[in-house]
Chain A
Amino acid sequence: MRQSARLQTILDLTAVDAAPLCTNAQAGCHVLSLANLFDRVIQHSARMHGISNDLHSEFELYFLPSKNQIGRVSRNCHTSSILTPNGKENAQRMAREELTEVILKLLVAWRDPLWHFHQSMAHHHDFNNFSSNKSLEMSDMVHELRKGVQKVVEKMQMLGIISNSVSNLASPEALLASDSAEWRLMKDYDLLYCFRRDSNKVQNYLKILKCRIVPEHGC
Chain B
Amino acid sequence: MCYIITYILFTVSVLPLCVVLLLFPSPSSHSLASLPLCHCLSAPLEPHFTECISREQETFRCWWSPGSYHNLSSSGALRVFYLKKESPTSEWKECPEYIHSNRECFFDVNHTSIWVPYCMQLRGENVTYFNEDDCFTVENIVRPDPPVSLSWTLLNISPSGLSYDVMVNWEPPPSADVDAGWMRIEYETQYRERNTTNWEALEVQPHTQQTVYGLHIGKEYEMHIRCRMPAFTKFGEFSDSIFIEVTEIPTKESTIPLTLILVLGILCILILIMLVVLTQQHRLMMVLLPPVPAPKIKGIDSELLKKGKLDELNFILTGGGMGGLPTYAPDFYQDEPWVEFIEVDGEDGDSGEKEDNRASDTQRLLGLPHPVSHHMNMGCSNAISFPDDDSGRASCYDPDLPDQDTLMLMATLLPGQPEDEEASFDVEERAPASSERSLVQTQTGGPQTWVNTDFYAQVSNVMPSGGVVLSPGQQLRIQESTLATEEETQKGKEGEESKETEEEKQKELQFQLLVVDPEGSGYTTESNVRQISTHPQPVETKPAATMEDNQSPYIHPDSPQSQFFAPVADYTVVQELDSHHSLLLNPPPATPMPVGYITPDLLGNLSP
Contact = CB atoms under 8 A, between A and B. Distances in A.
B117 A86 contact: no
B177 interface: yes
Contact of B182 (A75, A86, A88): A88
Interface in B114-140: 114-117, 119, 132-133, 135-137, 139
B184 interface: yes
Given A57-B27, A70-B29, A87-B58, 8 more contacts: A69-B29, A70-B136, A71-B135, A87-B112, A88-B180, A200-B231, A204-B114, A207-B181
Interface string B82-119: 00011010000000000000000000010011111101
Interface of B: 22-23, 25, 27, 29-30, 57-58, 85-86, 88, 109, 112-117, 119, 132-133, 135-137, 139, 177-182, 184, 230-232
Contact of A68 (B116, B132, B182, B231): B132
A87 B109 contact: yes
B58 A86 contact: no
B89 to A, nearest CB: 11
A71 B114 CA distance: 15
A178 B41 CA distance: 50
Contacts of A57: 27
Contacts of B113: 86-87
Contacts of A64: 22-23
8 contacts: A68-B133, A70-B135, A71-B117, A87-B58, A87-B112, A88-B114, A211-B179, A211-B180
Contacts of A65: 29
Contact of A219 (B23, B58, B132, B179): B179
B413 to A, nearest CB: 110
A73 B132 CA distance: 13
Contacts of B22: 64, 66
A219 B178 contact: yes
Contacts of A98: none
Contacts of A68: 29-30, 132-133, 135
B230 A50 contact: yes
Interface residues of A, number: 35
A188 B27 CA distance: 19
A30 interface: no
Interface in A188-219: 197, 200-201, 204, 207-208, 210-212, 215, 219
Contacts of A125: none
Nearest to A88: B182
A212 B181 CA distance: 9
Name the 8 nearest CB pairs between A and B, nearest first.
A207-B181, A211-B181, A86-B113, A70-B135, A53-B231, A50-B231, A74-B117, A88-B182
Contacts of A212: 180-181
A160 to B, nearest CB: 22
Interface of A: 46, 49-50, 53, 57, 60, 64-71, 73-75, 84, 86-89, 91-92, 197, 200-201, 204, 207-208, 210-212, 215, 219
A88 B57 contact: yes
Contacts of B136: 70
Contact of B115 (A49, A53, A71, A86): A86
Contact of B85 (A74, A88, A219): A74
Contact of B109 (A70, A74, A89): A89
B181 A208 contact: yes
A57 to B, nearest CB: 6
Nearest to A215: B179
B231 A46 contact: yes
A88 B178 contact: no
A219 B180 CA distance: 7
Given A60-B29, A68-B30, A68-B132, A88 B177 contact: yes
B29 A197 contact: no
Contacts of A204: 114, 181-182
A201 B57 CA distance: 13
A46 B115 contact: no
A174 B515 CA distance: 141
A84 B115 contact: yes
A192 B365 CA distance: 137
Nearest to B133: A68
A201 B231 contact: no
A70 B181 contact: no
A65 B498 CA distance: 156
Contacts of A53: 231-232
Contacts of A89: 109
B30 A70 contact: yes
B182 A46 contact: no
A70 B116 CA distance: 10
Contacts of A49: 231
Nearest to B86: A86
Contacts of A73: 117
Given A50-B231, A71-B117, A92 B180 contact: yes
